[in-house]
């Protein structure tokens, strides 16, 4: 009888019971949210924080407002001038970003090996469908194992033979630029240089030769796909309403992101399949050196376990991206700065001409890389001024003490390389000027080792930084030996900080045969 009574009670008042349940659940969620907000505000009370925060959106309006990337970068510099060590910003009521912009604070984060933020809303979580848990994103034991297995691929003995590849690919780039020079037309730098750096990474890391520099169009499909992925990824990071996958992948942006990811994965798979087929008939002992993909396919840890197919593809995707995009950004912006400052360009050319004339075969060799000190200064100053990689993010796993404040675990912490490289307390009031003498031997010794971080620092620094620097020296030396570059003054150049530093509408220069 009691059971029947309860059944009738539920039946007669079903809607009321459901309503009470829903309201109770919503109340509990709201209460938890309020408690989280209160605890968050309490934890970050007294931290340096820009004004103008919205009660609900926090500082999001500054990141989503009008003016584009250039305005956001300028605002970051204004905040750096006011808060030269670090500051916090709120993304909505429950998410805090701690931005580090000074050597004293950046080193606290980068000296450790804290993981990249890949939890819900984490900056690198949205890149997982693209790069997977390759060396860039992986954390903990997976990162340590991959780093240990891949380090031999960047030994100096491995890097030496690549000089010939750099020169051959740079020669193709010269030919492409030469066509614009003969026609007296300006050209978009990044799209041309990107093809060269893609060609180089494919040949050096994967022994995979293509005709990507010989295509007729200005944008290679792979380069275009990576550009779109990077922009879509960066925009999603600034739009919390797009964090849930079930929402994002039903938007036009989400569908484009997935389509481009599928395309770059197919390129990586094609590279892998070709090498696997080659390995069936190739005796690795007969090769002069093992390239990056050889090591991926044959490396084994102390337990005799190799990398899985998924791990290999993740690393291939990661190095295809990092191995061409960041280097192309650096070379393009350095050419831009040398075009803006022709007196430095001429000084570079004299140095390069002298080294080449002194060489036995009239070509740059491995031993000549150390004979280009002023070009090296210009490369470093270009990377300081334009920051190929604008920021590096981590999630701290333990409380971190910064300037008398305790940052709680799990905070989104950003080593903002753009702000660090333009911090007036580090680089002076002329930090926006291109001054290669900053990196002269007598000046660089005075710099904090964490003041200049184009390749990050600490245990998670860029594993391929020597590869990239050598490549930049050879490509720039060959281009400057043959051409003089000048600005297309009809074209406005503005920074566009996405996964790497690009220009909003590209960089257009004129080239003239010397």
> HEC profile for 374-412?
HHHHHHHHHHHHHCCCCEEEEECCCCEEECCEEECCCCE
Residues 6 or more apart from 498 whose CB is under 8 A from it?
69, 230, 231, 233, 234
Task: Tell whether the model's pLDDT for residue 374 goes beyond 90.
Answer: yes
Average pLDDT (330-335) is 98
CATH number attached to the domain at 60-513? 1.10.630.10
Distances (CA, A) of 505 to 91, 188, 492: 28, 9, 8
150 vs 334, higher pLDDT: 334
Question: Residue 116 and residue 123: Cα distance in Å, rounded?
Answer: 8
Among 150-159, 235-244, 407-416, top mean pLDDT goes to 407-416
DSSP letter at 186 equals -
Mean pLDDT of 468-488: 97
> pTM score, two decimals?
0.89
Q: Where are the domains of the chain?
A: 60-513
Q: How confident is the model at residue 95 (pLDDT cuts 50, 70, 90)?
A: confident
Q: What is the mean pLDDT of residues 480-505?
A: 94
pLDDT(158) > 90? no
Flag whether 419 is marked binding. Answer: no
Q: Is the pLDDT of residue 6 over 60?
A: no
Q: To the nearest whole percent, how much of the chain has pLDDT over 90?
A: 52
Residue 38 has pLDDT above 80, yes or no: yes
Go through 160-176 and write b for each residue having 16 or more CB atoms within 10 A of its CB, e for each that does not. Answer: eebbebbbebbebbbeb
pLDDT of 164-190, one tens digit each? 999 999 999 999 999 999 999 999 999
pLDDT of residue 92: 83
Q: 395 or 64: which carries more pLDDT confidence? A: 395
Residue 11 is predicted with a pLDDT of 61
Q: What is the pLDDT of residue 312?
A: 86
pLDDT at 100 over 90: yes
Q: What's the mean per-residue pLDDT of the chain? A: 88
What is the rounded CA–CA span in Å between residue 166 and residue 185? 26
CA distances from 253 to 60, 84, 129, 231, 258 (A): 20, 36, 14, 10, 9
Do the beta carbons of residue 96 and residue 411 sit within 8 Å?
A: yes
- pLDDT confidence of 119, banded at 50, 70, 90? low
**What are the backbone dihedrals phi and psi of residue 388, each rounded to the nearest 5 degrees, phi first?**
-50, -40
pLDDT band at 288 (very low <50, low <70, confident <90, very high): low
């Amino acid at each position: 009888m009691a059971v029947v009574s309860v059944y009738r009670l539920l039946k007669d008042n079903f809607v009321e019971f459901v309503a009470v349940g829903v309201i109770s659940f919503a109340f509990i969620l709201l209460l938890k949210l309020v408690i989280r907000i209160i605890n968050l505000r309490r934890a970050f009370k007294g931290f340096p924080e820009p004004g103008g925060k919205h009660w609900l959106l926090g500082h999001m309006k500054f990141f989503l407002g009008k003016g584009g990337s250039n305005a956001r970068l300028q605002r970051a510099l204004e905040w750096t001038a006011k808060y030269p060590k670090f500051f916090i910003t709120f993304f909505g009521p429950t998410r805090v970003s701690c931005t580090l912009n000074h050597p004293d604070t950046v080193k606290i984060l980068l000296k450790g090996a804290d993981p990249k933020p890949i939890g819900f809303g984490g900056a690198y979580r949205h890149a997982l469908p693209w790069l997977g848990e390759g060396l860039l994103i992986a954390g903990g034991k997976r990162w340590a194992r991959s780093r240990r297995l891949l380090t031999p691929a960047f030994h100096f003995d491995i890097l030496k033979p690549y000089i010939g590849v750099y020169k051959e690919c740079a020669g193709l780039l010269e030919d492409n630029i030469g066509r614009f020079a003969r026609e007296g037309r300006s050209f978009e730098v990044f799209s041309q240089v990107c093809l060269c750096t893609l060609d180089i990474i494919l040949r050096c890391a994967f022994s995979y030769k293509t005709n990507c520099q010989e295509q007729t169009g200005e944008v290679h499909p792979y380069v275009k796909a990576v550009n779109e992925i990077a922009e879509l990824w960066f925009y999603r990071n600034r739009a919390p309403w797009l964090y849930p996958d079930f929402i994002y992948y039903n938007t036009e942006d989400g569908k484009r992101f997935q389509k481009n990811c599928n395309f770059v994965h197919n390129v990586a798979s094609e590279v892998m399949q070709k090498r696997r087929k080659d390995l069936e008939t190739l005796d690795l002992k007969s090769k002069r050196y093992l390239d990056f993909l050889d090591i991926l396919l044959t490396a084994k840890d102390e337990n005799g376990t190799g990398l899985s197919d998924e791990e290999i593809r993740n690393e291939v995707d990661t190095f295809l991206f990092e191995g061409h995009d960041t280097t192309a950004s650096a070379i393009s912006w350095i050419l831009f700065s040398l075009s803006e400052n022709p007196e430095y360009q001429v000084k570079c050319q004299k140095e390069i001409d002298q080294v080449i004339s002194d060489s036995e075969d009239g070509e740059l060799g491995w031993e000549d890389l150390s004979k280009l000190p002023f070009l090296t200064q210009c490369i470093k100053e270009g990377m300081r001024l334009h920051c190929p990689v604008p920021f590096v993010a981590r999630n701290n796993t333990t409380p971190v003490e910064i300037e008398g404040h305790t940052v709680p675990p799990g905070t989104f912490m950003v080593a903002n390389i753009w702000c660090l490289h333009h911090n007036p307390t580090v680089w002076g009031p002329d930090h926006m000027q291109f001054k290669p003498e900053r990196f002269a031997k007598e000046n660089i010794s005075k710099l904090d080792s964490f003041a200049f971080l184009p390749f990050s620092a600490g245990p998670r620094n860029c594993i391929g930084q020597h590869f990239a620097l050598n490549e930049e020296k050879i490509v720039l030396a060959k281009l400057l030996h043959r051409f003089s570059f000048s600005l297309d003054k009809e074209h406005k150049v503005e920074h566009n900080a996405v996964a790497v530093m690009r220009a909003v509408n590209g960089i257009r220069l004129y080239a003239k045969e010397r």
